[in-house]
């Protein structure tokens, strides 16, 4: 399910070439998830790493995670005695 979520999220990414030739990419609705690189491939690879770290942090903190293409990630936090 995590891989499907990451792939669906990456499909929403918006790429653009900056004036100095570097690429920039972000995913709308995913605050702080962006990357840049010299090539589209480098940019996408960096974006995937940022997205994975963002998702882990969201899960750890118990923050709301956006539903993407019907894929919902829910985490049940239980207190350990």
Residue 28, in any domain of the structure: yes
pLDDT tens per residue, range 50-80: 999 999 999 988 899 999 999 999 877 678 7
Number of domains in the chain: 1
Q: Tell me the C-alpha distance between 37 and 33, whole Å.
A: 14
Q: Are 74 and 66 in contact (CB under 8 A)?
A: no
| 12/3 Cα distance (integer angstroms) | 15
Strand 14-17 with 34-37, pairing: unpaired
Q: Containing domain of residue 21, as a range?
A: 2-61
> Residue 46 CB: number of other CB atoms within 10 A?
16
In a domain? residue 75? no
Domain for residue 73, yes or no? no
What's the pTM value of the predicted model, to 2 decimals?
Answer: 0.87
Domain membership of residue 81 (yes or no) is: no
Domain-embedded: residue 79: no
- The CATH number of whichever domain residue 52 belongs to comes to 3.30.160.250
């Amino acid at each position: 399910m995590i891989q499907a979520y990451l792939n669906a999220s990456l499909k929403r990414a918006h790429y653009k070439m900056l004036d100095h030739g570097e690429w920039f990419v972000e995913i709308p609705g995913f605050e702080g998830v962006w990357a840049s690189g010299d090539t589209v491939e480098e940019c996408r690879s960096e974006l995937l790493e940022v997205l994975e770290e963002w998702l882990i942090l969201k899960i750890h903190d118990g923050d709301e995670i956006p539903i993407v293409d019907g894929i919902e990630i829910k985490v049940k936090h239980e207190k350990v005695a």
